[in-house]
Amino acid sequence: MISSVLVANRGEIACRIFRTCRELGIRTVAVYSDADADALHTRVADTAVRLPGAAPAGTYLRGDRIVKAALASGADAVHPGYGFLSENDGFARAVVDAGLTWIGPPPEAIEAMASKTRAKRLMGLAPLDAAEVTEADLPVLVKAAAGGGGRGMRIVRRLDELPDALEGARAEAASAFGDGEVFVEPYLEHGRHVEVQILADTHGTVWPLGTRDCSLQRRHQKVVEEAPAPGIGEELTKELHALSVRAARAVSYVGAGTVEFLVADGRAHFLEMNTRLQVEHPVTEAVFGLDLVAGQIRVAEGHALESDPPRPRGHAIEARLYAEDPAHGWAPQTGTLHRLAVPDGVRLDTGYTDGDTIGVHYDAMLAKVVAHAPTRAEAIRRLAGALESAAIHGPVTNRDLLVRSLRHEEFTAARMDTGFYDRHLAGLTEPAPDPYAPLAAALADARSRSRFGGWRNLPSQPQAKRYEMAGEEHEVRYRYTREGLAADGVRVVHADAGLVVLEVDGVRRTFEVCRYGDQVHVNTVRLTALPRFPDPASQLAPGSLVAPMPGTVVKIADGLTEGATVQAGQGLIWLEAMKMQHQISAPATGTLTALHAEPGRQVEPGMLLAVVQTP
C-alpha cells in the first residue's frame, strides 16, 4: 500500500493529484523551483522539497534531484503528472531503481511510445524524411518526437520555410523536454483530433474509456475538449477502441494513457500514444464517474480492474483558461491574479488562488473549467454561462474567446475541426466592450474618493476620467448634484466603491467594480485607468517593435543589423516565454534603423527591441 506520494510536477496537475491523495489518506510531497516557492502546489502539500533554480532544465527536468527529494522526504511513490518528465523512461527507471513505486506505465512502454517516431513504426507507419520532402508533400507538420502540449511543432506550407521550422522546433523541444528530436508528417488541414483514454492493470485488462474530441486548438495545443466525441458513429468508435487496445497491448501497457488520432473523411489516422495522464482527463472522469488518479494509484498497488469499465453517462466539456491575449498572437500574460472565482455547478482545477503571481517560466494555463450535463447542448450552455459570469481579475485571459467559441455555430453543431481558429479567430476576438463600463468605473472611483458621498448643494462642474478599454481610449463625464452623482443619458440608482447600478432606457444594470492600482475590473470587462494628461515621453516612434511579454531573446534573424532592409512579415527577433517561442516580425517593408535586442537578453513588456522605418 502506498503511503506517501511525491508529485514530480507543479501547478494545476500537482494540486489535482494531491486532492485525490488526501481523499485516499496518502501523504503528499511537492517539489518546487525558486520561482514556485510560494505557488499553490507548494503550499498545499504536506511536505515540500526545493529544487534550486527557476528554469525547467535545472529543476522539474532534473530527475536525479527529484529522486533524491523523494528519498529525503520519505515518499514511497512518485507520480509524474503530465509534461516535464512524465514520458521520460530514464526517469521512470531511476524511480524504480531507487526502490520507489512508479505511478505510471513500465519504462519499456514509455520508451516504446514516448518517441512519436518509434510509436508510428510500432503501429506500422513511418514519418516523412525531412530531406526528401517535395512540393507535392505540402503542407507538412514538423513535430517534436518527445513530449506534447503543442511545443516543438510548426506547420510548413512552403519548402523554403522547412529549414527554419526544423531549427525552431528542435530548439523549442529541447527547452521543453530535454530532447530536440523532431520529425515530419503530412498535415491534414481539416481533420478532427479524437482520442481514447485507456486504463490498464497488471492482470491483462485494458479499458478503452469512450472518446474525446480535442479539435479546438491554438498553436497545436488544445483549448476545448469534450467527451464523448460528438458525431463519431458506433463503428468508428469500435475501430478507435480496437486500435487503442492494440497499441496498449503491443507494449504491455499499465496505468492511464491516451491514444490520439486525426479523424478525416470518416477514417482514423494514428498520431501518437501519450504514456501519461492527459490535461483533459476530467471530462472522461465526469462521463464515466471515475477518479483516474485513484485508478492509477490502485493499479500501481497491483489491484485488478473489473472486467468491464463503468457505463458512460451524459456529456462533459472542458475549457482551458489561459493568461494570454488571443487577439495579439496568443501572447502570454504575467502579473498578479487578484481574483479567480467561478460559479457553483462546474469543476475548477487550478494551480492558482487569489493573489498569486503568474510568472514567466512556465505554461500560461490558469485553470480548467469543466461542465457535465445530460446532453451536449446543456453542457455547452452550463460551461459558457459559468465562464461568462466568472470573476477573473488580473492579466488578460482567453475567457471571452472561450465563451464565444462554445457558442459558435460550428461548435454547437459539432462541425469543428483543427482549423477552427485559423478560420474564425478574427471574429472571435473582435472587441465587444460594454459602453457603460467606463462610467461605472468612474462613478465607483468618485465614491471611493469622496468623504461625504459626493452630495453638493449646487451642481458641480463636470468631472472627467479616462480609461483604456479593448485597446481604445474612453473619456467619461459625470457631476455631483444635490441628489448625488449624475451622468447624461442614464440615471444613477446607486453608486459606491464596489457596486454601481445604472438605469438606461428604463432598464436597470448592475456593475461590480474592483480596482487594483490602475487596473479596473467592471463585471467581466478589464479597464486601465489613464492619467488625466498623457505623458509625452511615453510616446514611441512609428515602427517601434516592443516586447509583448516578459521573456528571453533566443534568436536574431541571420545577418540582421542596423541599416538592413526588411520585408513586411519577416521574422526579426524570437523570444522565449512560458516554454514557447514567439516571433517578432517586421510590421512593414522598410529599413531597420535601431536594434536593441541580442540573444540571451531578458526583456520586459513594452521594452523597445527594434525600429523599422518605412519610406
DSSP 309: P
Is residue 342 one of the residues assigned to a domain? yes
Of 50, 80, 103, the residue at which a domain comes to its end is 103
- Together in a domain, 332 and 405: yes
- Together in a domain, 362 and 447: no
- Together in a domain, 443 and 499: yes
Give the CATH number, domain containing residue 59. Answer: 3.40.50.20
| Number of C-beta neighbours around residue 544 at 10 A | 15
Give the CATH number, domain containing residue 488. Answer: 3.30.700
- Together in a domain, 424 and 444: no
Is residue 412 one of the residues assigned to a domain? yes
Is residue 535 one of the residues assigned to a domain? no
Q: Catalytic residue numbers?
A: 276
Of 132, 159, 186, the residue at which a domain comes to its end is 186
37 bridge partner residues: none
Is residue 521 one of the residues assigned to a domain? yes
Give the CATH number, domain containing residue 366. Answer: 3.30.470.20
Residue by residue, DSSP assigns 436-474 as THHHHHHHHHHHHH-TTTT--SSPPPPEEEEEEETTEEE
Lowest mean pLDDT among 26-35, 117-126, 236-245: 117-126
Is residue 108 one of the residues assigned to a domain? no
Counted domains in the chain: 5
Residue pair 439/510 in contact (Cβ under 8 Å)? The answer is no
What band does 457 get if pLDDT is binned at 50, 70 and 90? low
| 3-state helix/strand/coil string of 273-289 | EECCCCCCHHHHHHHHC
Give the CATH number, domain containing residue 563. Answer: 2.40.50.100
Edge-to-edge, what's the strand order for the sheet holding 182-186?
153-156, 140-144, 182-186
DSSP 165: H
Is residue 500 one of the residues assigned to a domain? yes
Give residue 458's domain range.
437-530
**For 556, phi and psi rounded to 5 degrees?**
-120, 140
Lowest mean pLDDT among 35-39, 195-199, 533-537: 533-537
| Number of C-beta neighbours around residue 42 at 10 A | 19
What band does 534 get if pLDDT is binned at 50, 70 and 90? low
- pLDDT tens by residue, 367-393: 999 999 999 999 999 999 999 999 999
- Together in a domain, 167 and 203: no
- Together in a domain, 30 and 57: yes
The answer, yes or no, to whether residue 345 has pLDDT greater than 90, is: yes
Q: What pTM did the predictor assign?
A: 0.85
Give the CATH number, domain containing residue 150. Answer: 3.30.1490.20
Is residue 109 one of the residues assigned to a domain? no
Of 508, 530, 552, the residue at which a domain comes to its end is 530
Could you tell me what percent of the chain has a pLDDT over 70? 96
- Together in a domain, 380 and 313: yes
- pLDDT tens by residue, 469-523: 998 999 999 999 888 899 999 999 999 999 999 999 999 999 999 999 999 999 9
- Together in a domain, 302 and 273: yes
The answer, yes or no, to whether residue 162 has pLDDT greater than 80, is: yes
- Together in a domain, 358 and 478: no
- pLDDT tens by residue, 99-157: 999 999 999 999 999 777 778 788 877 677 788 888 888 888 898 877 666 778 888 99
- Output the CA–CA distances (angstroms, integers) from residue 285 to 61, 155, 222, in the order listed: 28, 33, 18
The answer, yes or no, to whether residue 537 has pLDDT greater than 60, is: no
Is residue 471 one of the residues assigned to a domain? yes
> What pairing do the DSSP bridges indicate for beta strands 4-7 and 27-33?
parallel
- Together in a domain, 379 and 474: no
- Together in a domain, 395 and 544: no
- Together in a domain, 312 and 373: yes
* Closest by Cα among 460, 572, 539, 448 to 498: 448
In the chain, the amino acid numbered 411 is F
**Helix intervals (H) in 107-158:** 107-114, 116-122
200 bridge partner residues: 206, 255
The answer, yes or no, to whether residue 456 has pLDDT greater than 70, is: no
* Closest by Cα among 149, 144, 221 to 183: 144
